Structure 1
Amino acid sequence: MPRQFQFRTVDGVETVQIAVRGRQVLARPMLNFGPGYTLDERAALGLRGLLPPAVNTLTEQVRRVYQQFRGQPDDLSRYVFLNQLQDLNEILYYRLVADHLEEMLPIIYTPTVGEAIQKFSSTFDRPRGIYLSIDDAAGMDEALAAHGQGPEDVDLVVVTDSEGILGIGDQGVGGIRIAVGKLAVYTTAAGIHPLRGIPVVLDVGTDNLDLLNDPGYLGARHARVRGERYDAFVAQFADAVRRHFPHALLHWEDFGADNAHRILAAYRDEQCSFNDDIQGTAAVVAAAALAAVRAKGERLADQRIVVHGAGTAGVGVADLMRDIMVQEGLSEKEAESRFWGLGSRGLLHTGAPMRAFQERYARPVEEVSGWDGAGRYDLAEVVRQVRPTVLVGTSAQPGSFTEAIVRDMAAGCDRPVIMPLSNPTSRSEAVPADLLRWTDGRALIATGSPFAPVEQGGTTFEIAQANNALVFPGIGLGAVAVRATRVTDRMIAAAAQAVAERTSAGRLGAPVLPSMRQLRAVSAAVAIRVAEAAVEEGVATRELEHPLQDIHELMWQPVYPTVEVVDHIDEPSARTTEPGREA
């Protein structure tokens, strides 16, 4: 089909060419500026009489929709409102979110998106993204083509199979909303153009009995397919992405623990791909740890680190911290010896059952044979024996960092680094107020959920949120900027270093991570470092002449572009952000 509209950026100026007229203009979220169109533009586009007579600036429109947002009764209603706004006027949506980022990020992303995902099949809205069913694998190429983008039009594909959604597990086809939410953060934080990203759900069935027994469920109504057929479907998808969108970064999101590690290992050296639950979580937690230990005047390599919840995220955190320790001078074996990981059966140790990706952190059974615990070795016993300096919580076990455990830890080091990271707040291993009270204000804290500042001993402590949004948008932007052929460990470590450098954690009460208010600047800093690391690693296919300026110019701004009314769209001669074809 011929192109209907096209966004182009030349010399930093964005223009939209529009070849449709009248109601067709207002039916497209990226073209529906509403009363933002001037009277001359309305006349040229056939909009006379289709809009109220007043002309509003984007700032005036933001003011009006923000009042509507504030009038919603609860967070889920706010999510629905923003979702509807995105379907109506996408540029206004992104401008609203950007202007109120700290307030709205928890609505469009975690934690509110989790509730929206659970209610996916009970709500009716405009479908976004691509739904690929294992029961129609033969139609995959047709489904990808139906989205309308060509091989030069896509920078980013976010895909989930919905097995490990946030802290709520298997959510079947509703997981598409986490992919949509991730792309919204990529756009808001890193300026990835909203029309250069595609959200995808791989529907392989669900083991969620509530969904299978819900007559309104919209996904494949059978148990999850596993084994060879599942692997073949994922391989078919990865190959299809390479063929349809050869320059796109493939972002794997919320896969189950076993599949997440297997898939990342299988494809990370074949194409530009990245798993946020493993590598993104690792980067932001490593950033917090780096900032915290630097505030103490120490190195990461000097620490004793206990990871409570050594699953997908926990082992990813340990792997990246190990890599940084190696950069600081340790051997890989020495670095691995700095970690004690606890899984669902207690401390990982030789001879105990565990997953393959956990084995490198298993402690020798001879080391722990004299400990209490009858072979299980729970968190309290591990802390008592190890006296860790860093305690990481990715267990989803609320309250597991008890007063006794924290006081034991604090007795062994002056400034304990404690990170209860499990989401949502109800699953947090501890709350900051308790941690500061139990350590007399000495703890350096990062949490998975947002917490208000805490008064302790006459000092106001700002609580850092280890939100992946601090790293994954910049990783994506950096990889896209240099068209990286893959995402390397060094690029992930560079992201962590970039975030750690933007803190003032040495000041008492200061957070060990940047505020979400700084998200766009942080994303740009991360992108620059990631792009530079890609060049150094030899995986960049183009270099940036002026990294800071080049990254800045790549970041899309949510403003109405210059309108060019045309009768037809020529094939692009400049960087195109939207194919504008009718499916």
Structure 2
Amino acid sequence: MPQRPYEILPGNHGSRIRVNARGSAVLRVPRLNRGTAFTHEEREQLGLEGLLPERVTPLEGQLHRAYTRFVRAHHPLEKFSYLQGLRDRNTVLFYRLLSEHLDEMMPIVYTPTIGDAIQEFSLWYQQISGVFCSIDAPDRIEDALRAFGRDPEQVDMLIVTDSEGILGIGDQGVGGIQICLGKKSLYTAAGGVDPDRMIPVVLDVGTDNLQLLNDDLYLGLRHARVRGERYDAFIRSFVEAAQRVYPHAMIHWEDFGADNAHRILTTYRDEICTFNDDVQGTAAVVAAAFIAGVRAKGERLSDQRVVIHGAGTAGIGVADLLVDLMVQEGLTPDEARMRFWATSSRGLITDEPTKRFRDFQRPYARPAAELAGWQTDAPGLYYLADVVRNVHPTVLIGTSGQPGSFRESVIREMAHHVDQPIIMPLSNPTILAEATPTELLTWTEGRALVATGSPFAPVSLDETTYTVAQANNAFVFPGIGLGVGVCRATRVTDPMIAAAAQAVASLVRITRPGQSLLPSVRDLRRVSATVAIAVARAAEADGVAERPLTDPIQQVFDTMWQPVYPEMVLDEG
């Protein structure tokens, strides 16, 4: 294997780096390149004389220049393109800029703007630092992973998608690699995971998106999405190849279709270290807001009546974790599940013989006998309004992708029976939200405790300003990945996910109306460190940690990569 242009040397936070490259090659390696910040002495030693403008600009000056460029870009996609270019030129500068302006830039590098970037992927294509695996060439998966140029001990995570369930825009084919790159950016900016220790991967299994199949510029496989046994065999081949090449890496599954997401997670969670952000990450952040809201009301989790509108991957993942938390309060699993009512596009999930539902929804099917005395809008149909009218839920969670489905009549009915309803319209992007925070607070006279999936501005109502909690997975997945890496966990267990949710909730103190159910995005580094400590401790308690936790706080801090230019050690050979 050719010599790599650099080598990270032992030391906290990747603060020392051996440089093997010289001349213009240094400027082409993002981890080495520091542009005009190279001192004159470094330029002479590295053979950069004459390749840069004369004036040396320290990192602080570069940050000012980069932020000015970002602000001057008018359209979100222009901002995205600028940041993507910066990431591919200068690793440290990109992550330092992102870390210092995370609340402003997260909607650009991740949802909602990344959805537009994914749709435009083939048109805007430029060199991507990731791995593309084709279902038409399963025998080349291992070669593709090795071609990325990392040794087995140098990779902690593979961020993997098959692009079927991208955000709220569905099947996006090979363009889904962008969602993996967005996750990688947040793992580093929010969680301090070394960007060199992660690999984005797209599993190209075709696409059912006819617009892409008929686009001459589309870069993915030009056939319908493969399903069934061949698909499962391909996933198995990928998992086995990944285990051979990077045996200590956690596989982060991202934006798979609902059926595949649950089946893959169930199949592999007891075999390898694996995590599905749409199932487990969403569940953890929603559970954190749930815990904070229930505590603010002075109630118990197990006393809540929960309606989940949209019983797909995310919705059932939320229900499963909330059941686990209620069991910790003393309920049996069956007793806890009876606190939940889940709806799909066909209405309430019940065990009626004529009703159809997916296997992962089965535990939440309500007994048909309990519906006999219900007052409904139409005989034999049990939709959201009917459920709310008859159940009087204390918590309403939306993961439906149906904009406006939390109608005024539904919310007013809920608020008529509950003093402080917890309402979470989680579908994103913003245009898919079940309701806006302004609507929810207006219809409940300011009594609702609200968390959303997309970012919303604060709401002013009756001289109170309400900070809207965004139940963004970025509150949990960076810390989970960091914690797994710190203790080198061999599995991601349910107690580890519950620990992540409780860690986030522990940072929330609601003492007055209008306070957020979740911490501030500006505080994500502290949140991620707190989550990582809790996750690592839970892993050790579960017996899945390979590295002992001698000093968890220090170990997490020492592991977190810092976006500063490292000390350069020159290879004299």
- TM normalised by structure 2 equals 0.98
Between the aligned partners of 2:85 and 2:12, the Cα distance in structure 1 is 33
Tell me by how many angstroms 1:549 deviates: 1.2
What does residue 154 of structure 1 align with? Answer: 155
Tell me by how many angstroms 1:376 deviates: 2.4
Asked whether 1:113 is paired with 2:114, we answer: yes
Tell me by how many angstroms 1:564 deviates: 1.1
Between the aligned partners of 2:179 and 2:406, the Cα distance in structure 1 is 29
SS in 2 for 1:340: strand
CA contact (8 A) 2:8 2:14 kept: no
SS in 1 for 2:62: helix
Asked whether 1:472 is paired with 2:473, we answer: no
Between the aligned partners of 2:400 and 2:541, the Cα distance in structure 1 is 36
Asked whether 1:453 is paired with 2:458, we answer: yes
Q: For residues 461-500 of structure 1, what are the structure 2 equivalents within 5 Å?
A: 461-500=466-505
* Structure 1 unmatched runs, 5+: 569-583
CA contact (8 A) 1:272 1:484 kept: yes
What does residue 319 of structure 2 align with? Answer: 318
Between the aligned partners of 2:457 and 2:4, the Cα distance in structure 1 is 49
Please give the root-mean-square deviation of Cα atoms over the aligned residues, in Å.
0.9
What does residue 277 of structure 1 align with? Answer: 278
Q: In structure 2, what residue type is equivalent to 1:291?
A: A
SS in 2 for 1:469: helix
What does residue 390 of structure 2 align with? Answer: 385
CA contact (8 A) 1:453 1:462 kept: yes
CA contact (8 A) 2:166 2:172 kept: yes
SS in 2 for 1:341: strand
Tell me by how many angstroms 1:11 deviates: 4.8
Q: In structure 1, what residue type is equivalent to 2:172?
A: Q
Asked whether 1:239 is paired with 2:243, we answer: no
375 and 128 in structure 1: CA distance in 2 versus 1, 3 angstrom threshold: farther
CA contact (8 A) 2:142 2:242 kept: no
CA contact (8 A) 2:283 2:317 kept: yes
Between the aligned partners of 2:270 and 2:66, the Cα distance in structure 1 is 45
CA contact (8 A) 2:415 2:421 kept: yes
Q: For residues 423-442 of structure 1, what are the structure 2 equivalents within 5 Å?
A: 423-442=428-447
Per-residue displacement from partner, 1:243-288 (whole Å, max 9, x unpaired)? 1111111100000000000000000110000000000000000000
Per-residue displacement from partner, 1:356-410 (whole Å, max 9, x unpaired)? 0001000000111332233220100000000000000000111111111111101
CA contact (8 A) 1:369 1:375 kept: no
Q: In structure 2, what residue type is equivalent to 1:546?
A: D
Between the aligned partners of 2:231 and 2:282, the Cα distance in structure 1 is 25
Q: For residues 379-418 of structure 1, what are the structure 2 equivalents within 5 Å?
A: 379-418=384-423
Per-residue displacement from partner, 1:556-579 (whole Å, max 9, x unpaired)? 0100000111135xxxxxxxxxxx
Q: In structure 1, what residue type is equivalent to 2:163?
A: S
Between the aligned partners of 1:12 and 1:275, the Cα distance in structure 2 is 27
Q: For residues 219-298 of structure 1, what are the structure 2 equivalents within 5 Å?
A: 219-298=220-299
467 and 13 in structure 1: CA distance in 2 versus 1, 3 angstrom threshold: closer
What does residue 578 of structure 1 align with? Answer: none
Asked whether 1:338 is paired with 2:339, we answer: yes
Between the aligned partners of 2:342 and 2:452, the Cα distance in structure 1 is 19
Asked whether 1:19 is paired with 2:20, we answer: yes
Between the aligned partners of 1:19 and 1:13, the Cα distance in structure 2 is 16
What does residue 581 of structure 1 align with? Answer: none
Between the aligned partners of 2:93 and 2:5, the Cα distance in structure 1 is 21
CA contact (8 A) 1:296 1:506 kept: no
* Structure 2 unmatched runs, 5+: none
Q: In structure 2, what residue type is equivalent to 1:41?
A: E
CA contact (8 A) 1:449 1:465 kept: yes
What does residue 99 of structure 1 align with? Answer: 100
Per-residue displacement from partner, 1:127-161 (whole Å, max 9, x unpaired)? 22000001111111111111000110001100000
CA contact (8 A) 1:308 1:395 kept: yes
Between the aligned partners of 1:359 and 1:558, the Cα distance in structure 2 is 46
Tell me by how many angstroms 1:13 deviates: 6.4
- TM normalised by structure 1 equals 0.96
Q: In structure 2, what residue type is equivalent to 1:264?
A: L
> 365-374 vs 496-505, which deviates more?
365-374
SS in 2 for 1:274: strand
Between the aligned partners of 1:11 and 1:442, the Cα distance in structure 2 is 47
Between the aligned partners of 1:339 and 1:537, the Cα distance in structure 2 is 28
Aligned match of 2:368 in 361, 365, 370? 365
SS in 2 for 1:135: coil
Between the aligned partners of 2:326 and 2:157, the Cα distance in structure 1 is 31
Q: In structure 2, what residue type is equivalent to 1:67?
A: T
Q: In structure 1, what residue type is equivalent to 2:329?
A: E
Between the aligned partners of 2:187 and 2:525, the Cα distance in structure 1 is 10
Q: In structure 1, what residue type is equivalent to 2:196?
A: L
What does residue 309 of structure 1 align with? Answer: 310
Tell me by how many angstroms 1:8 deviates: 2.1
Tell me by how many angstroms 1:546 deviates: 1.1
What does residue 526 of structure 1 align with? Answer: 531
Between the aligned partners of 2:438 and 2:151, the Cα distance in structure 1 is 52
SS in 1 for 2:569: strand
Q: For residues 120-131 of structure 1, what are the structure 2 equivalents within 5 Å?
A: 120-131=121-132
Identity among equivalent positions (%) equals: 58
CA contact (8 A) 2:307 2:340 kept: yes
Tell me by how many angstroms 1:507 deviates: 2.1
SS in 2 for 1:152: helix
Tell me by how many angstroms 1:497 deviates: 0.2
What does residue 566 of structure 2 align with? Answer: 561
Between the aligned partners of 2:124 and 2:12, the Cα distance in structure 1 is 43
CA contact (8 A) 2:12 2:559 kept: no
CA contact (8 A) 1:280 1:472 kept: yes
Asked whether 1:541 is paired with 2:555, we answer: no
Per-residue displacement from partner, 1:488-535 (whole Å, max 9, x unpaired)? 000000000000111122421100001100101000000000000000
Q: In structure 1, what residue type is equivalent to 2:477?
A: F
Q: In structure 2, what residue type is equivalent to 1:297?
A: G
What does residue 182 of structure 1 align with? Answer: 183
Q: In structure 2, what residue type is equivalent to 1:464?
A: A
What does residue 348 of structure 1 align with? Answer: 349
